[in-house]
Amino acid sequence: MMDRTNLLLFISCFMIHSLFISCLASNILNITTDQSALIVFKSQFEHDHSNVLARNWSSDTPICNWIGVTCSSRHQRVAAINVSNMDLSGLIPPELGNLSFLVSLEMSRNKLYGNLPKELAKLKRLKFISFSFNRFSGKIPFFSEAMPNLQQLHLRNCSFTGSIPPSLSNISKLEFLGLTYNALEGMIPVQIGNLGRLKILSLEGNKFSGTIPDSIFNVSTLEVLEFSYNSLSGNLPANMCRNLPSLTYFSVYSNQLWGQIPSTIGECSQLQTLEFQFNQFNGPVPKQIGNLSMLVLLGLGRNNLKGILLIFFSLFYITRKFSHGLHVFYYI
């Protein structure tokens, strides 16, 4: 009986030891994989004027101590990369897709160019992406559609062309979609209205045409809607504010929208900025705008509106009523 007990104890210890060695080897391999991917990433830079990465990203320094790199405390894997504002110029290599524990990727305000590699689709844990203010080419990459946990996608001033892929609507956890100042065109996909957690939609400064999909006005979590400087046409839905209780910013400045400003605008009670100027809106200015007690900026000019004087006095009353420092700026 004693020999059998000792044998079972030996087998158990051996299995635990083997499992520990296997996990340790696997962890070392993964750290090595992360390091190799970042070394390839660094090698792509044609210019590193700050010389930070050239001096710091080396095998002489533990990867979790590299500048711009953050490792998770639990797995000791690379969880975040932030190399913004480093004046980096070059391509993003496909090896970056090997950083399987990456949660945040921030590379804004550099001089990166070329296409974003499709291998980034392997980064299933990513919650935050910012490539804003770079010099990429081609269309918006489809890799983000394969990122089930993505919450913020910042692609401002990236020189992207083409249209918005409707499949972006598959990113069910997306809260921020920023595509401002690219060269995007075509119609805004109706499917954007399927993003039930979206808080900020920023499409300013592109070449979008057609109407603003009614479905977008049904996303009740929205706080910011920015459509300025496009070629959008058509009218706004009559019930545009019925399902937007949290909207604080709405701008369609400089488009080709027409028709009347919906009277339901007064139901967006949290509005602070409201810009309609440089369109073809006509008819009366809804008196309900005078109910927007949080309003700070109102733009109505360069339209064919009537009753602007009436709305001015309504807002003047608001300014007097709320003596806590509210200032309403008029563009009429």
pLDDT in tens, 175-199: 999 999 999 999 999 999 999 999 9
287 pLDDT higher than 70? yes
Range of the domain at 308: 69-331
Could you give the angle at the alpha carbon of 270 between the alpha carbons of 269 and 274, nearest 5°?
Answer: 95
Q: In whole numbers, what is the pLDDT of the chain averaged over residues? A: 85
Domains contained in the chain, number: 1
Strands 207-210 and 183-187 come out as: parallel
The reply to whether 120 falls in a domain is yes
Q: What percent of the chain has pLDDT over 90?
A: 65
pLDDT of 26 reads 39
**261 in a domain, yes or no?**
yes
Q: Does the residue 133 lie in any domain?
A: yes
Closest by CA to 250, choosing from 274, 279, 217, 276, is 274
Residue 59 in any domain: the answer is: no
In-domain check, residue 165: yes
Is the residue at 281 inside a domain? yes
- In one-letter notation, the amino acid at residue 71 is C
State percent of the chain over pLDDT 70. 81
| pTM (predicted TM-score) | 0.85
Residue 62 lies in a domain: no
Domain annotation covers residue 57: no
Task: Give the model's pLDDT for residue 58.
Answer: 84
CATH code of the domain covering residue 295: 3.80.10.10
Asked if the model's pLDDT at residue 303 lies above 60, the reply is: yes
**∠ Cα 53 55 60 (to 5°):** 110
